Amino acid sequence: MPAEVVVTPEELAYRTILRKDLKEDRAAFLDTKIPGSEAKINYPLIGPGVSENADQVIPVTEPHGFNLGGAVMPAGVVNNLHLHFTAEVFVCFAGEWQFRWGVDGADGEAVVSDGDVISIPTWIFRGFTSKTDDAWLFTALGRDESGGLIWAPSVIEKAAQYGMHLSADNKIIETEPGVAPEGVELIKPLSADQLGALRRYSVDEMRERLAKPADLVWSEKPFLDSTLPGGGAQLALVVGYGLTEDRFQRPRLSDPHGMSLAWLRAQPGQGVGQHRLAQSQVLIVKSGRLKVSLNQDSPVSVELGPYDTLSIPVGAWRSFECVGEDATQVVLLTEGDGRVYIEWAAPVVAEAEANGVALDPNGYLAPASLLAGRTS
């Protein structure tokens, strides 16, 4: 575990991204002048993502091991076909979206609705259309350096008709419609052979990468403090094993993403006791209100509501509490492909042991009586 990090009030404010403070980007990508795509709105949150807009404003710039952004599109607006080199995970917070994939978008389609999470494989073309006016997606991209994206040849051709071009270093260059820029090396579309070599995915294969609320398997005791006052939060794994200390819990997807993604839920007064991690972590509140308290000495706290985001640095002590009258549901994004081992505050460890629960040498919950004298 790294040295303890103390978060100042100023740093907490910097790492707190409230929905009301989001800065929209309407020029993030090559396709934003293609008819039917002009109304796309992107929100940078953490890291540069794959934006092709050199002027985007990024709220939190430090590396997390992944990038995070948001997308809002009125009904009928199209995000055109492109592919990524690293994981792309969509978390639907509102509305309904029609996803499609394949070189021409004809390999399959899937409808993604409120509460769904879908992970699109790397190196395949994907696009989507909003079906409702209130549609909202959060998008997590694996790795700090995602390598940009590749547009389908048809998108590059169509964008050029409207004066949008992409340089070889993935920056947008605007000209008069139909006029090619001079003295600039442009991105070359993939050849027919390159397109033909791409892996194809069936509808059934993609369904396995979609986690709807009914697909989630919730652990009622995922943490050392699950039976303690102030604990009691439940966890559902979507991508990676992540934080769970329940040895029977399995994620829906276990292939490397550069991050784990899980849902956390708690009733009023419940939460997660004081702990810290050796990885970066980001919280996005889906519903309810969550109070996050940081530090053991000089504590600071923030209360988050729906669509609010918080970045917690490596090594900082933190605890979570559902506040208000309604249950809270939160997306947890944690750096890395492997399991995440939690360091619990000493009082939590002692109280759990007094309650008959401890962690075995593998970091999973076990009866404390069976571990007496076997761990240190």
DSSP string, 78-106: EEEEEEESS-EEEEEEESEEEEEESTTS-
> Do residues 152 and 231 share a domain?
no
User: Domain boundary residue among 210, 226, 245?
Assistant: 210
Q: What's phi and psi for 300, nearest 5 deg?
A: -130, 155
Q: What is the C-alpha to C-alpha distance for residues 151 and 130, in angstroms, rounded to an integer? A: 19
- Band of the pLDDT at 4, cuts 50, 70, 90? confident
> Quick check: 142 and 47 in contact, CB under 8 A?
no
> Do residues 266 and 348 share a domain?
yes
Q: What is the C-alpha to C-alpha distance for residues 161 and 180, in angstroms, rounded to an integer? A: 9
Residue 203, CA distances (Å) to 23, 30, 101, 342 in order = 35, 28, 10, 37
Query: How many structural domains comprise the chain?
Result: 2
> Do residues 133 and 161 share a domain?
yes
Largest pairwise CA distance in the chain = 76
User: Domain boundary residue among 187, 210, 233?
Assistant: 210
> Do residues 240 and 169 share a domain?
no
Span 291-339, pLDDT tens digits: 999 999 999 999 999 999 999 999 999 999 999 899 999 999 999 999 9
Residue 203 lies in a domain: yes
> Quick check: 333 and 258 in contact, CB under 8 A?
no
- Residue 169: per-residue pLDDT: 85
The continuous run of DSSP H or E covering 12 comes out as helix 9-15
For tokens 């009866």, the residue is 367
> Quick check: 166 and 173 in contact, CB under 8 A?
yes
Q: What is the C-alpha to C-alpha distance for residues 92 and 75, in angstroms, rounded to an integer? A: 15
- Residue 134: per-residue pLDDT: 86
Q: What is the C-alpha to C-alpha distance for residues 82 and 3, in angstroms, rounded to an integer? A: 41
- Please state, for a pLDDT cut of 70, what percent of the chain lies above it: 99
User: Domain boundary residue among 160, 186, 210?
Assistant: 210
Whole-number average pLDDT of the chain: 95
- Band of the pLDDT at 86, cuts 50, 70, 90? very high
Residue 286 lies in a domain: yes
- Residue 374: per-residue pLDDT: 61
**Which of 27, 153, 184 minimizes the C-alpha distance to 81?**
153
- Residue 111: per-residue pLDDT: 97
User: CA 210 from chain center: how many Å?
Assistant: 14
Span 172-221, pLDDT tens digits: 999 999 898 988 999 999 999 999 999 999 999 999 999 999 999 999 99
Can you give the CATH number for the domain in which 358 is found?
Answer: 2.60.120.10
Q: What is the C-alpha to C-alpha distance for residues 256 and 244, in angstroms, rounded to an integer? A: 17
> Do residues 182 and 73 share a domain?
yes
- Residue 375: per-residue pLDDT: 53
Q: Which of 29-38, 110-119, 172-181 has the highest mean pLDDT?
A: 110-119
Q: Please give the residue range of the domain that contains residue 86.
A: 31-210
**Which of 48, 104, 22, 36 minimizes the C-alpha distance to 74?**
36
Span 242-259, pLDDT tens digits: 999 999 999 999 999 999
Residue 145 lies in a domain: yes
Q: What is the C-alpha to C-alpha distance for residues 302 and 15, in angstroms, rounded to an integer? A: 10
What are the tokens at 77?
């607006």
Residue 151, CA distances (Å) to 46, 82, 156, 173 in order = 23, 4, 6, 15
Count CB neighbours of 283 within 10 A.
20
Residue 261 lies in a domain: yes
Q: What is the C-alpha to C-alpha distance for residues 290 and 324, in angstroms, rounded to an integer? A: 9
pTM (2 d.p.): 0.95
Coil, strand or helix at 314: coil
> Do residues 205 and 226 share a domain?
no
> Do residues 105 and 238 share a domain?
no
Q: Which residue has the higher pLDDT, 3 or 357?
A: 357
> Do residues 86 and 230 share a domain?
no
Span 121-172, pLDDT tens digits: 999 999 999 999 989 999 999 999 998 899 999 999 999 999 999 998 888 9
> Do residues 91 and 141 share a domain?
yes
Residue 82 lies in a domain: yes
Q: In 201-280, where does DSSP find H-type helix? A: 203-207
> Do residues 204 and 140 share a domain?
yes
> Do residues 86 and 51 share a domain?
yes
Residue 26 lies in a domain: no
Q: Is the pLDDT of residue 372 over 90?
A: no
Residue 352 lies in a domain: yes
Q: What is the C-alpha to C-alpha distance for residues 229 and 218, in angstroms, rounded to an integer? A: 20
Coil, strand or helix at 20: helix
What are the tokens at 189?
């579309």
Residue 44 lies in a domain: yes
Please list, in sequence order, all residues whose beta carbon lies within 8 angstroms of the beta carbon of residue 128, skipping any fewer than 6 positions away: 78, 79, 97, 98, 99, 100, 112
> Do residues 132 and 78 share a domain?
yes
- Please state, for a pLDDT cut of 90, what percent of the chain lies above it: 90
